[in-house]
Amino acid sequence: MKMKKKSDLPSKTCLCCGLPFAWRKKWERDWDQVKYCSERCRRSAPKSQEAQR
């Protein structure tokens, strides 16, 4: 498998901090459900957004 440049990977914007973050191998199966860039952002997200899942 050929390596991809980091700039070629898909990215999203974190719902909590607003910073962009890139695709990671560990998110390969559930990239569509990933909303936050880190555990810290996920934990500090308002509970009202979590209830909408």
Number of residues written out for the chain: 53
**pTM (2 decimals)?**
0.68
pLDDT digits (tens, 9 = 90+) for 4-48: 777 778 899 999 999 999 999 998 899 999 999 999 999 997 776
- Residue 21: strand pairing partners: 12
Residue 16 carries which side chain, given as an amino acid letter? Answer: C
